[in-house]
A and B are shown apart, each in its own frame.
Chain A
Amino acid sequence: MNTILAVSAGNIVVWAVWVIAGFACLASGVAVVSFSNPFFSALALIGNLGSLAVLYLLLSAEFVAAAQVLVYAGAVMVMFLFVIAYVGPQQETPWKGGPNWQTVGAVLAAGAIFIEVIVVLGLKAGGRLSHVHSVNATFGSPGWIGRLFLTDHLLAFEITSIVLLIAAVGGVILGEHTKRRDVAVEDAG
Chain B
Amino acid sequence: MQGPGVVWYVGLSAFLFGIGALGVLVRRNPLIVLLSLEIMLNGANLALIAFARSAGNGAGQIFALAVMAVAASEVCVGLGLVVALHRKRLPLDVDKLSELRG
Contact = CB atoms under 8 A, between A and B. Distances in A.
B32 A145 contact: no
Determine chain B's interface SS by DSSP, over half rule: helix
A67 B68 contact: yes
Contacts of A109: 21-22, 25
B55 A133 contact: yes
Contact of B3 (A15, A140, A153, A181): A15
B67 to A, nearest CB: 10
Interface string B46-82: 1001101111101101111110111111111101111
A167 B77 contact: yes
A134 B75 CA distance: 36
A148 B58 contact: yes
A132 B56 CA distance: 8
A109 B38 CA distance: 18
Given A18-B8, A29-B19, A42 B35 contact: yes
Contacts of A18: 3-4, 8
Contacts, number: 251
A64 B65 contact: yes
A167 B6 contact: no
Contact of B31 (A10, A80, A105, A178): A80
Contacts of B50: 59
A68 B38 CA distance: 12
B70 A163 contact: yes
A171 interface: yes
Interface in A53-107: 55-56, 58-61, 63-64, 67-68, 71-72, 75-76, 79-80, 83-84, 86-87, 90, 92, 94, 102-103, 105-107
B32 A126 contact: no
A175 B83 contact: yes
Given A41-B35, A113-B18, A129-B10, A178 B73 contact: no
Interface string A105-127: 11101110110011001000110
Given A61-B49, A114-B14, 20 more contacts: A32-B19, A32-B35, A33-B32, A56-B49, A59-B9, A79-B79, A80-B75, A92-B27, A94-B26, A110-B22, A114-B15, A114-B18, A118-B14, A126-B7, A148-B62, A167-B72, A170-B76, A174-B83, A175-B83, A178-B87
